[in-house]
Amino acid sequence: MEHAGPAQFAAGKKPPFGQWLIEQDKRTGAIGDLAKHARADRAFPRNGGVKDVWKRLNSIQVESEIYDAMEEAELDYLAL
């Protein structure tokens, strides 16, 4: 799995989680699949935080694989 490095962001300039997630659409695996779903969802909270994305996923009742991918993406993002 590829991880984004914190050096790519200026200090204090980490993008919102929703934006970061959409930018992961070129990745392989679960996070890449989640990013593709997010990009296709017109109501996806692009400038939202982790909680906003969880709320959106719960409101549309996604499949369990998407929840697993979201957990992985959240950990990856928080590690930046």
Please report, for the chain, the start and end positions of each structural domain, with discontinuous segments joined by +.
14-78
Q: What is the pTM of this model?
A: 0.83
CA contacts within 13 A on the Cβ side of 16: 12
Q: Is 75 left (phi over 0), alpha (psi -120 to 50) or beta?
A: alpha
pLDDT digits (tens, 9 = 90+) for 52-75: 999 999 999 999 999 999 999 999
Split at pLDDT 50, 70, 90, the class of 12 is low
Number of Cβ within a 10 Å radius of residue 29 = 12
Closest listed residue to residue 62, CA positions, set 33, 20, 26: 33
Q: In degrees rounded to 5, what are phi and psi of residue 26?
A: -90, -10
